[in-house]
Amino acid sequence: MESSRFYKKKTCMPDTVLYCSLHDPVAPCPSGYNTNKAVSLWGNSGRMEMTASKFMDIQRAIQPDWFQCLSDGDTISGEAGRKRAKKSVDRSLSFLDVCLQLLEKSPELQGSVMFGAIEGGDILEERLRSARETAKRPVGGFLLDGFQGCTMAKETKLKLIASVTAELPEDKPRIIHGVGKPDEVLECIERGVDIFESFFPFQVTERGCALVFSYDCHPDPEAAVLNQNGAQDLEKNGAEDNQDEISKADPEMTPFEIFLKDKRYHDDFGPVLEGCTCYCCQRHTRAYVHHLLVTNELLAGVLLMMHNFQHYFNFFSAIRDALRDNKLDQLKKCVFRQVLQGPANAKPGQ
């Protein structure tokens, strides 16, 4: 989990906050299984019904720093979803009231903060009702739920996020689930979101890719040279002759990453990203990671994860600096420029 505005609290694990969410952000969550009494969770052993009391028992055992309240985020898009959106808000408020009562009575959870979940699908009036009602309750922060996946149009999503955060008190953190791409993160920050999950670098790693985008908005000539290396690689994405290899890359691949399994990297003896200080870039080459990927070695994922996490967390550090120095616009320009140069818009043979 990464924070743009709030700094990390010390726990037994230094520099980390333990946050417990209801669902795994990278696992599919089938629709149609929630009731007024329970929310369905899905794992290796199939479906599990989570009632408010069972949910709070688990929180008592884990004692996280922060956790989201049990909520029903299972909505469908469009006008047909209006009734379902209302139900999701009603249920989530009712779960919130039960969980707040149980929280108050739990000595084990006096050091834990519960986030209220804002639901309501893509229906603005339900989102606003959810935000206003949740803000009346003694929650420690807010979760903007139900924005994961791509069923909602981007414009609708951003408008809803801005409308919801406008209803929330400034002094309590807002976390969003299911948003992790650098450009989308910046758009959400502009609309008042503070905290994000870190599933994105994991997904990048899973598809055999490395994050190489630049987030340097300072016109420091020396640093700019280092950063250009990654940018040049992004420009090369999809712009060379071996289109067959490119097409084997995951269609979910974003303009912020390079596909290291591509054969063009088999004799590339530079680091994954020039100038990066992570373990992988300091000790290994692109050619080595490429070899590990094509031979399905587990170490490939370990090394890529080290690099991708460090790069992503440094991106958030750059966001905090940009907010402090009033340079978020410059950072946004720098990141969005790379969206245009990426593989989605690169023409073959260019």
Closest CB to Zn ion among residues 143, 281: 281
What phi and psi values does residue 144 have, to the nearest 5 degrees?
-90, 100
Is 331 an interacting residue with respect to Zn ion (CB under 5 A)?
Answer: no
Stretch of residues binding Zn ion (CB under 5 A), selected from 121-129, 185-193, 243-251, 280-288:
280-288
217 carries a ligand binding annotation: no
Closest CB to Zn ion among residues 231, 276: 276
Cα–Cα distance, 157 to 147 (Å, whole number): 7
Stretch of residues binding Zn ion (CB under 5 A), selected from 5-13, 85-93, 167-175, 272-280:
272-280
User: Closest Cα to residue 65, out of 130, 124, 110?
Assistant: 110
Closest CB to Zn ion among residues 112, 227: 227
| Neighbour-count burial of 60, counting CB atoms closer than 10 A to its CB (0-12 exposed, 13-18 middle, 19+ buried) | middle
CB of 199 to Zn ion, least distance (A): 19
Closest CB to Zn ion among residues 67, 200: 200
Cα–Cα distance, 39 to 51 (Å, whole number): 7
For the chain, give me the number of helices (H) and strands (E)? Answer: 12, 11
Is 278 an interacting residue with respect to Zn ion (CB under 5 A)?
Answer: yes
CB of 273 to Zn ion, least distance (A): 5
Is 276 an interacting residue with respect to Zn ion (CB under 5 A)?
Answer: yes
Closest CB to Zn ion among residues 156, 277: 277
CB of 276 to Zn ion, least distance (A): 3
Cα–Cα distance, 199 to 321 (Å, whole number): 22
Cα–Cα distance, 70 to 64 (Å, whole number): 14
CB of 222 to Zn ion, least distance (A): 18
Contact 173, 195 (CB under 8 A): yes
Q: Which residues contact 66 (CB under 8 A, 6 or more apart)?
A: 17, 18, 19, 20, 112, 113, 114, 115, 140, 141
Three-state DSSP class for 108? Answer: helix
User: Closest Cα to residue 261, out of 206, 302, 308, 309?
Assistant: 206
Stretch of residues binding Zn ion (CB under 5 A), selected from 69-77, 176-184, 286-294, 301-309:
301-309
307 carries a ligand binding annotation: yes
Measure Cα distances from 164 to 83, 86, 119, 156, 158 in Å. 19, 15, 10, 12, 10
Closest CB to Zn ion among residues 226, 323: 226
Token pair belonging to 240:
């060379």
| Neighbour-count burial of 150, counting CB atoms closer than 10 A to its CB (0-12 exposed, 13-18 middle, 19+ buried) | exposed
Neighbours of 21 (CB within 10 A): 18
Closest CB to Zn ion among residues 186, 260: 260
Is 85 an interacting residue with respect to Zn ion (CB under 5 A)?
Answer: no
CB of 260 to Zn ion, least distance (A): 12
Stretch of residues binding Zn ion (CB under 5 A), selected from 79-87, 270-278, 286-294, 339-347:
270-278
CB of 304 to Zn ion, least distance (A): 9
Is 87 an interacting residue with respect to Zn ion (CB under 5 A)?
Answer: no
CB of 307 to Zn ion, least distance (A): 4
CB of 119 to Zn ion, least distance (A): 38
276 carries a ligand binding annotation: yes
Is 281 an interacting residue with respect to Zn ion (CB under 5 A)?
Answer: yes
Binding mask 302-321 for Zn ion (x = CB under 5 A): -----x--------------
209 carries a ligand binding annotation: no
Contact 127, 102 (CB under 8 A): no
Closest CB to Zn ion among residues 102, 278: 278
| Known binding positions for Zn(2+) | 276, 278, 281, 307
| Interaction site with Zn ion (CB under 5 A) | 276, 278, 281, 307
